[in-house]
Structure 1
Amino acid sequence: MNAPWLESLPLLADGLLITLQVTLLASLVALLLAAAAGLARLSRYAIIRGIATGYVELFRSCSLLVLLFWVYFALPFLGIELSKVTAAVLAIGLNIGAYGAEIVRSSIKAIPSGQHEAGIALNLSPNERMLRIILPQAAARMLPPFGNLLIELLKSTSLVYFITLSDLTYEAMVIRNNYYTWTPQIFGSLLIIYFILSSCVFVTFRLLERKLTAWR
Structure 2
Amino acid sequence: MTWTEYLVPLGQGAWVTIQLTFWSTIFGALLSFAAGIGKLSRNPLIKALSIGYIEIFRGTSLLVQLFWLYFALPLLGQAIGIDLRLPPVAAGVLALSLNIGAYGAEVVRGAIQSVSHDQYEAATALNFSDRQALWRVALPQAIPEMMPSFGNLAVQNLKDTALVSLISLQDLAFKAEQIRNFTQDSTTIFTIVLAMYFGMALVLTAMMKVLERSVGRWRTARS
1:46: which partner in 2?
Answer: 44
d(CA) in 1 for partners of 2:181 and 2:212? Answer: 43
TM-score by length of 1: 0.94
Q: What amino acid is aligned across from residue 19 of structure 1 in structure 2?
A: T
CA shift digits 1:1-55 (9 cap, x unpaired): xx62422321111101111111111112211111100000010112211111011
1:35: which partner in 2?
Answer: 33
2:11: which partner in 1?
Answer: 13
Alignment partner of 2:144 out of 140, 143, 146: 140
1:111: which partner in 2?
Answer: 115
Task: Return the offset for 1:175.
Answer: 1.4
Q: What amino acid is aligned across from residue 172 of structure 2 in structure 1?
A: L
- 1:199 and 2:202 matched: yes
2:66: which partner in 1?
Answer: 68
1:189: which partner in 2?
Answer: 192
CA shift digits 1:97-146 (9 cap, x unpaired): 11111011010000110111122222322222211111011000110001
CA shift digits 1:54-102 (9 cap, x unpaired): 1100111110011111111111112210000000011111111111110
2:132: which partner in 1?
Answer: 128
d(CA) in 1 for partners of 2:178 and 2:4? Answer: 13
Contact (CA 8 Å) 2:36, 2:107: kept in 1 or not? yes
| Identity fraction in percent | 44
1:56: which partner in 2?
Answer: 54
d(CA) in 1 for partners of 2:198 and 2:2? Answer: 24
Contact (CA 8 Å) 2:28, 2:101: kept in 1 or not? yes
Contact (CA 8 Å) 2:88, 2:167: kept in 1 or not? yes
Q: What amino acid is aligned across from residue 12 of structure 1 in structure 2?
A: L
d(CA) in 2 for partners of 1:147 and 1:95? Answer: 15
TM-score by length of 2: 0.91
d(CA) in 2 for partners of 1:88 and 1:4? Answer: 31
Aligned length: 213
Q: What amino acid is aligned across from residue 8 of structure 1 in structure 2?
A: Y
- 1:212 and 2:215 matched: yes
Task: Return the offset for 1:167.
Answer: 0.3
Structure 1, unaligned stretches of length 5 or more? none
d(CA) in 1 for partners of 2:192 and 2:25? Answer: 24
Q: CA RMSD in A?
A: 1.3
SS of the residue 2:207 aligns to = helix
Q: Using the TM superposition, name which of 184-193 and 200-209 deviates more.
A: 200-209
